[in-house]
Amino acid sequence: MPEFDDAHETIPQVARILFKGYRRQLDHSKASQDKKIPFNPQDEREVKAAPPLVEFVAKSLLRYEEGSLLYW
């Protein structure tokens, strides 16, 4: 999985990583057998790494929103 670059904003980097991971996952799953993308170990590692990152981001955003709602 790519490392974060402290010189750039975090959220766009996370979005790019998640898009890249899920795009590959969708390409693998929706293609008919004769159109499957050739197996690439790096792609598979990124696809498998995406769900835990998505879960972490979602939980973090929920905690942030719950905290923000307390001040309304």
Conformational region of residue 50, where left means phi above 0, alpha means psi within -120 to 50, and beta covers everything else: alpha
Express each pLDDT in 10-64 by its tens digit: 777 777 777 776 676 666 655 566 666 666 778 777 777 777 877 888 788 778 7
Entry pTM:
0.41
What are the b/e assignments for 32-48, b being 16+ CB within 10 Å?
Answer: eeeeeeeeeeebeebbe
